[in-house]
Chain A
Amino acid sequence: MDKKRGAGVAARSLAIMLLLVAIGLVALAVLNLQGLRLLFGSLALLLVGIAAAILLQPNFRAIYRVASATFFEARRRRFMNVILIFAVILVGLSSFFATLSPSAELNMLLDIGLGSIRLCGMLIAVFLGARLIADEVDKKTVDVILAKPVRRAEFVIGKFLGAWITVTCFLLVMGVAFFIVYQIKAPQLVAKMQAVGMALSLEETSANVLKATLLILFEMMVLTSIAITVSTFASWIFSAVFAFTTYFAGQLSSYFHHIATFNDKSVAIINPSIKMFSWVIYRLLPHFEFFDIREKLLTHDPVYWEMIGMTAGHGVLYSLVLVALACVFFSYREF
C-alpha cells in the first residue's frame, strides 16, 4: 500500500517536471531561438501529453477500442460511400479539362482535384463529427458503455480518434485517386511548360500536392473536433450547422483581422466595438485559410515545410483544446 503511494508521488513529481520543461520549451518556441520553433513546440506538446498520461492514467485500451469500433461503424454509414464515390468522380473530372495553355490546364487539375478532396473531406468530417456521439446517445448505446469502466473523457477521445482515423482513410483514398490522375497528366503538362521556358520542376509540384493534402488532413481534424465538441451539448443538426459556419467564417479569418486592425481614418472610421468583436472572432476562429495552399500551388510559390508544420501544429493545438472542452461538456451530460 505504502509502496504504491510512493510510486504515485514519484509519478506525479515526474509529471510536474515534464510540464515545467514543456513550459520552458514553449517559451523558447515563442522566442523563436534559431528558428527552432517547430521543434520546441512539438517537443513541448509531446511532454505535456506524457505528463497528462502519467497524471490521469487513461485506459488506453478502452480508448483504442472505442476508436476502432467507431471506425468500423463509420465505414458502414451510407453517406460516407456516397460522398466517396462523388469525390472520386470529381477528382476524375478534374483531368478532363483541355484548355488553352498547359499552365492553365495544370492549374485546373490542381484546383479542382484538391478542391474536391477538401470539399468532400469537409462534408465527411462535419457529418461524422456531429453524428457520432449524438447517435450513441439517441440510440442509447452509450448507456451500456458508460456502465463499463470507461471514463466519459475516454469515450469522447476514442470517438474523436475514431472519427479522425476514418476521415484520414477517406482522404487517403481520395488522395490516391487524385495522385493517379495527377501522375498521368502532370508530367506532360510540366514538360510542355518547361519547353516554353517556365522554371518549374515536377518533383517540386508533386511535393506541393502532398503538402496540400497533408494540410487538409489537419484542417479536417479541427473541423471534426468542432463538430464533436458542439454535439456534446447540442443536437447534431445544430452542431453540423455550427461547424459549417465556423468553417466558412474561418476562411475569412484574415478579413476579421483586417477590420480589427484597420486604422486609416481617412478611409473610414470603424466603430470600436465592431473592432473589438472582430478581434475576438479573429482570435477564436481556427484560421482555416492557412490550411488552403492551393493559391500558392497555382502561382508556383514555394511552400516551406516549416509553414506546413506550424499550420499543422496550430490545428493540433486547436483540436486538443476543443476535445478537452468536449470531455468537460460530456462529463455533465445525463442519459
Chain B
Amino acid sequence: MGEIGIAIRTEGLTKVYRIGIRGTHVGIGDLTVEVPEGEIYGLVGPNGAGKTTTLKLLLGLLFPTSGSGEVLGLPLGSPDYKARIGYVPDGPYFYDHLNAPELLRFYGALFGLTGKVLEQRIAELLELVGMADRAHFRVHEYSKGMRQRVAVAQALLNDPDLIFLDEPTAGLDPMGAIQMRNIVLDLRQRGKTVFLCSHLLKDMEPMCDRVAIVSRGALKLTGPIDEVLQAGAGYRVRATGVSPETRRKIEAVVTGIVEPDADGVAVLKAADQKRALEVANTAAGDGAQVLEVGPDRRTLEEVFIDVVEGQAGD
C-alpha cells in the first residue's frame, strides 16, 4: 500500500531468542506499530522489555523470527535505507585507538563522504556535541558520556532522515542531557523522524509526540502522547507527607490514590475541582505539603506504572 508519511511500519514483528539448546525467550513479540514521518517516537519499557531487540530488528542486526517490517519503505535489513538513517547504540563501542575525528572520518567514508565536505561536517558535529575541545582524545581515554557524545555525532554524519537512539541520555551530565534534547528537538524541527528508546520517562514525556509502552516483550499501549496521558475530566492533588490519618479523612471524597513515588509525591484524585480543593485543604491541615491542584493529566510515569503492573491503562 505504501502510504506516504510512515517512516517505520512493523507487522507482528517477533524475535524469539534461543537460550541454550531447548529454551526460548521472547525478546519482542507480535509488535505492530507505525511511526509517522517527522515525529519523535518514544519506545519505553522496563529493563529487558525488548526495546533494544526491536531497534536491532529495525536495523537488520537481528532477523525476525516472524512478522515483518519496513523502514523508509524498504524491507528490514535492506542496505538501501541505511544511507538515510543514523544509529546511536546503547553503550556505544568504537575502535579504541582512534580519536574522535579519525573515528568520524572512518564512519563518514562508509557513507561515501570525503574531503572538505566530510571535514567540515566533522568539525560541525564535534562542536554540536560539545567535543570540539577534546577531539584529540583517543576513545579508550574517553569517559562514558564522551563516548555517548561521539556516538551522537557519528549518527548525524549523513544528516539522516530517521535516527534511532537507544538510551541516548545514559551517562550524560545534565548539560549533556539538555544538549541531547535540543538535538532531538532540532531534528524534528527539520522534519526528521526520531525513534527513541528509553526508560527515563521524565526525559521522554516532554519530547515525544507518540509513545509505545512495551513490557516483557509485549506491546502494552501505543498512541499520541496527549491521548496516552489523558485521564478523563477529573482533578488531582499532588502532595508530599500525606499521613494515614489524612487518608482516612478523605477516603469518601477521593476517587483514587497513587502511592508516593521516589520523591514522596502522592497523587490524590477527585471527581471535580471543588472536591479536589477539599482534599487539598484537609491534607494541608494535617501538615502535608500540597504541590499542585489541577486537572488530572497523568504523567507518563503513572501511565507506565499502571500499564506495566497490568492494571488496564485506559
Contacts and interface: CB of A to CB of B under 8 A. Distances in A.
Given A147-B59, A149-B79, A334-B62, A65 B109 contact: yes
Given A149-B110, A334-B62, A143 B82 contact: no
A61 B87 contact: no
Contacts of B106: 65, 69
A72 B59 CA distance: 28
Nearest to B84: A149
Interface string B186-219: 0000000000000000000000000000000000
Interface string B90-116: 011111010000000011011110000
B148 interface: no
Contacts of B85: 147
Interface in A265-319: none
A62 B79 CA distance: 13
Contacts, number: 70
Given A61-B112, A335-B56, A335-B61, A143 B89 contact: yes
Interface centre among A69, A149, A151 (most CB of B within 10 A): A149
B60 interface: yes
A147 B93 contact: no
A258 interface: no
A147 B95 CA distance: 16
Given A140-B93, A141-B95, A147 B111 contact: no
A328 interface: no
Contact of B93 (A61, A73, A141): A141
A62 B164 CA distance: 22
Interface in B18-56: 56
A1 interface: no
B87 A147 contact: yes
A148 interface: yes
Nearest to B154: A144
A140 B88 CA distance: 12
Given A143-B89, A144-B87, A144-B89, A334 B63 contact: yes
A5 interface: no
B86 to A, nearest CB: 8
Given A73-B95, A140-B89, A335-B56, A147 B61 contact: yes
Interface residues of B, number: 28
A148 B97 contact: no
Contacts of A147: 59, 61, 82, 85, 87, 89, 164
B83 interface: yes
A7 interface: no
A335 B62 contact: yes
A76 interface: yes
A149 B83 contact: yes
Contacts of B59: 146-147
B61 A62 contact: no
A143 B106 CA distance: 14
A320 interface: no
Nearest to B157: A148
A143 B61 contact: yes
A173 interface: no
Nearest to A141: B93
A273 B162 CA distance: 59
Contacts of A139: 93
Given A140-B91, A149-B82, A150-B79, 16 more contacts: A65-B106, A65-B109, A65-B110, A140-B93, A141-B93, A143-B56, A143-B87, A144-B89, A144-B93, A144-B151, A146-B59, A148-B82, A148-B110, A334-B61, A334-B62, A335-B62
